[in-house]
Structure 1
C-alpha cells in the first residue's frame, strides 16, 4: 500500500493535510446510478472528479481493475461499537478497521454506550473519539429518554434520534405513551427505533421463567412483540407526520405494515434476520441470540421479499459484539447481539452469485438508500462531485469466513465456516486507500458524515 505517512486527513472535510492525490480507476465495471458501465473513474483528492475520465490524464496512481466491479462505499446505519465504556468487546479503532475490510466506508453508531449518548456534549465527545481513532467515516445518533426532549430538539450533526421502544441493551427504554407522543411532536430530526413491545416481552418472560433454553428467546421476544411495537411507532409517525425508520425488521408480519408508508416510513433488514432462523439454535446456541430475536425460515423468506418489493429499503448489520466468554454463558445470562460489519457485504454479494438479486439492488440497499434515508451529503453513489468512498469487489472470489481471521475485537462470526462467493478486495475512504486484500493503512482517518435534513429523506425527489 501507499506509505501512510503522507495520508493523514484532518477531520474538517474541506481540509486534507495529505498531499493532494489523483487516482484513476480503469477497466472496472462501475455501478452507476443509471446502471453498470465500463468507465474510468477519476478521483481528485477526496472527491470523484470524473466518471468516464480520459485514460491519458496525468494522475498519481492508476488502478487497473480489470475483472472487478467498482461500487460506492457501504453505509451501515446501525452499529454498536461499544466505545466509550465497553471497549473490551469493541472500540472505534477495531470496529472501523473491520468496516474497511468489509467495504463499509461510513457507519452510524447507536447511543447505548456507557455513558449513553443522550446530550449534545456526549455527541461531540464521540465525534472527537472517532476523529482520533476511526479509519472510516462516522456519525452518531442521539438517544431519547423521557427527560431529554430539549436536547433532542436542539441536537445537530447527527443522523437522528434513536428510541428503544422496548428494552434491549442499556437503560434507554422509552415505553410511556406520553413520552413517545412528546418526542414525536416536539422534535424535528428523523426518528428510528428498536421496536419490541415491553409488556409483551415481560409477560412472555414470566411464562418462560427459569428456562435455560436459548431457543425460548424467540418465544419471549416473539412475533407479537415486534409487530405490536412497530404498529405503535408507525401510528405515532403518521399522526405527528414525523419521518420514522424501522430498525431490524425481524418478522414477515411487519412487511404488510410497511407498505402503506405515505412517504414518511422507511425500514431495514439485517443479515441475521435474512439468513438465520430458529432452526439454527441447535447449531449456534447463544451465538444466535439477538434482539429482536431471529424468527422462522418463513419470516426469512418474507423479509427477503420485502427487500425485493421495496417495502424495506436498507440492509444494515446491527453489529453488536460481545466476547465469546460472554456469549457462552448459559441463557439467559448470555447477552444478545452478534458482529457482522466485515461480512455483511459479502453475504449480500453471495446472493448476487446465487441469482437471488442483482448487484445494482445490493448497491441500492447498502449504499444509496441509507444515504437518502439519513440525508447524508455526498455519499452513496458513484457520480461527479460525490465523496470518493469506493470499494472494488470481486464477484468470483470464494472465501470461507473463519473466526481466526475476524478483525472485530470479539473475534467470532455466526457465519464461521460458511464459504461465500463475492468479496470486497480494496476500499477507499475519501479518496485514500485504507484496505487492500488483507492489508490496512492505519494512518487513514475518516471524516464526520454531514447531514442535510432539509433534503427530506428517502422519498424526496432530490438526493
Structure 2
C-alpha cells in the first residue's frame, strides 16, 4: 500500500491518493485518508494521470541503431509517458502474425505499457493480423513515409472495412501525393520539403479518408494533423485527430536553424497555420497530443533535404513542453490531462487508464509545476541523441509510476514491467 499525501490534481483540488501496489490500482481518493503503508508527501506537487502517447516509432525490429524498445521506453518513462502505441513501419512491417509476434517479443523489454498497431501493405495478411492483440489498425499510410508503406484507395477502403468488422480504430496518415508540388524539387534549401508536401495535400486526404470512413461506419483517427484545415475536416466528419508537439510549437520559420533536422511527414507549416493549430489545441477542438516519436541518427539527418529521412524524436519532451505552457497559463492543467491521458484512453478503448479515479490503474506522474529546466539532448534518453527542442524550457517529472510501480524517479529507472494493453 502507498499513500500520496496532499497532491494537487489537474483541477486544482488537493487530495490524498491511495494505491494498492500489489494490484496496481488506485483504491481511494480523499482529502484526509488514514495513513497506510508507505507515505509520500506531495505538498506543492502536481499529480497527473500518466500520459498515453498514441503514436511512437520505437524502430524495432529492423532499425535498432535508431531506437530500441528499451531506450524508447526509458525516454517515455522519463517524460511522464506510461503507455505508448507503436506503429507498424518497422522491418519487417507489422502486417501479419509472425511480424506481430516478433515485435511483441521485443516489446516485452519496455519500461512502460504499450500497444502494438497493425499495418497495411499490398502483402498484408488481415486474417492473421486481425486475430492478434493489436491496439488499432494503422498508421495506414495514404502517402509514402519512412518504410514505404503508402497504399492505394481501393486497398484503404478494404482495410477500413476489415478493421470496422473487428471494431478497431483506424489511424490514418493523411496526405495526397497527387497534390505534392513537384516544382519544389528544384530547390535544395531546408524549406523545400514543406513547399513540396503541401498543406492542401493533407486536408484533401483527410476529407477523402473521412468520406470512406463515414460510408463504412468506421472509427477513424487522423494522425499528426499539421494544418487547421486538416483538423477542421476531421472534426466536421466526426473523426478524432492528434497534433504533435513539433507541429504545435515549430513552424517553417524555424527551418533556417533546424535544417534537415526539421524534416518530417507531414512537414512544418507556416507560422500562421501553426498559431491556428495551437489555438485549436487550446480550445478543445483537437482530441489529443501524440508525438510521432520518429528517431533517426544525427548522421542520417545530416544530409541534403531530399536525402535526409523524415522524423524527429519527441516522446520524452511532450509532457514537459505542455506543462511549461500550463505554467505560463497558455493551457490549463486540466486541458493537458485531457490531451495526453483522458481522451487517448477513451478513443483507443483503455478504460483502466487515463484518469486519477478509484479503480483505475495507478499510472501516475508527480511533478513540481514550478521546477523548470532547459531541454538538452545530453539529458534525454532516446538513442538518437538529439532533439528539435534543444534549449527550450520544460517541466519534467520527478516520479513516473506504471500500475503502481515506480519506473522512473529522480533520474533512476525501475524494472522493465511493460505489458501489452490488449493482451
Task: Calculate the TM-score normalised by the size of structure 1.
Answer: 0.87
Which of the numbers 80, 84, 109 marks the counterpart of 2:86?
Answer: 109
SS of 1:260 mapped into structure 2: helix
- Picking from 211, 232, 236, the partner of 1:260 is 236
Query: Counterpart of 1:199?
Result: 178
Q: Which residue of 1 aligns with 2:348?
A: 374
Consecutive unaligned residues in structure 2, runs of 5 or more: none
Residue 431 (str. 1) matches residue 399 (str. 2): no
> Per the alignment, do residues 398 and 150 of structure 1 end up closer, same or farther by CA in structure 2, a change over 3 Å counting?
closer
Report matched runs for 1:145-294 at 5 Å: 145-148=121-124, 150-151=126-127, 154-162=130-138, 163-175=140-152, 177-188=153-164, 189-201=168-180, 204=181, 206-262=182-238, 265-294=239-268
Give the length in aligned residue pairs. Answer: 417
Deviation at 1:55, TM superposition (A): 3.9
Checking the alignment, whether the CA contact within 8 Å between 2:190 and 2:260 is kept in structure 1 is yes
> Separation in 2 of the partners of 1:408 and 1:250?
24
| 1:445 counterpart residue number | 417
Alpha-carbon offset, residue 351 of structure 1 = 0.9
Kept in 2, the 8 Å contact 1:319–1:340? The answer is: yes
- 8 Å contact 1:252–1:298 — kept in the other structure? no
Work out whether 1:41 is the aligned partner of 2:13. no
Residue 128 of structure 1 and its aligned partner are, at CA, apart by 2.1
RMSD of equivalent CA atoms: 1.6
Cα shift at 1:156: 4.1
Runs of 4+ with deviation above 6 angstroms: none
Is the partner of 2:111 in helix, strand or coil? Answer: coil
Separation in structure 2 between the aligned mates of residue 93 and residue 259 of structure 1, nearest angstrom? 36
CA contact (8 A) 1:127 1:139 kept: no
Structure 1: distance between partners of 2:341 and 2:118: 22
Aligned-partner Cα distance in 1 for 2:243–2:422: 24
Q: Aligned partners of 2:342, 2:98: CA distance in 1, in Å? A: 30
Q: How far off its partner does 1:125 sit?
A: 2.5
Write the distance in 2 (CA, Å) between the matches of 1:198 and 1:436.
45
1:11 alignment partner in structure 2: none
> Counterparts of 2:8 and 2:106 in 1: how far apart (Å)?
36
Length-normalised TM-score, structure 2: 0.95
- Residue 89 to residue 147, structure 1, CA distance change in 2 (3 Å): closer
Aligned match for 1:89, one of 44, 63, 66: 66
Query: Is contact 2:97-2:129 (8 Å) kept?
Result: no
Give secondary structure in 2 for the equivalent of 1:214.
coil
Determine the C-alpha separation between the residues in 2 that align with 1:129 and 1:186. 27
Once the two structures are TM-superposed, the CA of residue 310 in structure 1 deviates from its matched residue by 2.8
Task: State the match for 1:415 in structure 2.
Answer: 389
Partner of 1:308: 282
Q: Distance in 1 between matches of 2:256 and 2:184?
A: 19
Indicate conservation of the 8 Å contact 2:296/2:384, yes or no: yes
1:150-207 C-alpha deviation (Å, 9 max, x unpaired): 33773342221111011111131112x2212212223322101111112223xx2x32
CA contact 1:388–1:429 (8 Å) conserved in 2: yes
**Unaligned residue ranges in structure 1 (runs of 5+):** 1-21, 452-463
Offset at residue 149 of structure 1 (A): 5.9
Q: Deviations over 1:224-268 (max 9, x none)?
A: 111111111111111111010010011122233133234xx1001
CA distance in 1, matches of 2:343, 2:315: 17
* Separation in 1, partners of 2:148, 2:325: 37
C-alpha spacing 1:153/1:445, structure 2 compared with 1 (3 Å)? closer
- 2:18, 2:27 within 8 Å by CA — same for their partners in 1? yes
Work out which of the residue numbers 34, 48, 61 in structure 2 matches 1:71: 48
Deviation at 1:147, TM superposition (A): 4.1
**CA contact 1:258–1:312 (8 Å) conserved in 2:** no
Deviation at 1:54, TM superposition (A): 5.2
Residue 5 (structure 2) aligns with: 26
Hey, what does 1:57 align to over in structure 2?
35
Shift of 1:145: 1.9
